[in-house]
Amino acid sequence: MIKANGTQDHIHLVVRLHQDVALTSLVRDLKAASSSWMKRIEPDFKWQAGYGGFSCSISQLDRLKGYVANQKHHHMHKSTDEEMRDLAKKWGFQWMWDPVSLTQVWQPD
């Protein structure tokens, strides 16, 4: 774990992931390990079904760590959904509700 921070409705983790570890496995294990701890604080806590994962070049790592550290201020000006829609549009996708998985997903534009 390099950096972690978040807001009331989401978290950001900056991790170095070994090439033999699948992102799905990391997320599954993190959610499982943290669920019991979170339920002691918030009994109705549950993780959302989905997650997002993005890669970052080493040359942008300090910038990414600053972005993660600044989440509270950042989301005073832009909601999570607004940010995801902007990112999706930038990369040629749509950020939309998927009735099958019951979560937000990126779909090709």
Say how far apart CA 83 and CA 95 lie, in whole Å: 10
Backbone angles phi, psi at 106, to 5 degrees: -95, 130
Say how far apart CA 86 and CA 94 lie, in whole Å: 9
**Comparison of pLDDT for 79 and 64, the residue scoring more:** 64
Q: Which helix (H) or strand (E) holds 72?
A: helix 71-77
**DSSP conformational letter for 21:** S
- Residue 102 reports pLDDT greater than 80: no
Report pLDDT for 72: 87
In the chain, domain spans: 3-77, 79-109
The separation between the first and the last C-alpha atoms of the chain, rounded to the nearest angstrom, is 33
- Residue 78 reports pLDDT greater than 90: no
Report pLDDT for 23: 94
> What is the average pLDDT value for the chain, to the nearest integer?
90
Whole-model pTM: value is 0.80
pLDDT (mean) for 47-58: 88
CB-based contacts of 26, cutoff 8 Å, min separation 6: 15, 17
**pLDDT band for position 20 (cuts 50, 70, 90):** very high
CA triple 19-80-78, angle to 5 deg: 125
CA distances from 13 to 47, 51, 88, 94, 100 (A): 15, 11, 19, 23, 27
**pLDDT band for position 76 (cuts 50, 70, 90):** confident
pLDDT (tens digit, 9 = 90+) per residue, 24-44? Answer: 999 999 999 999 899 999 999
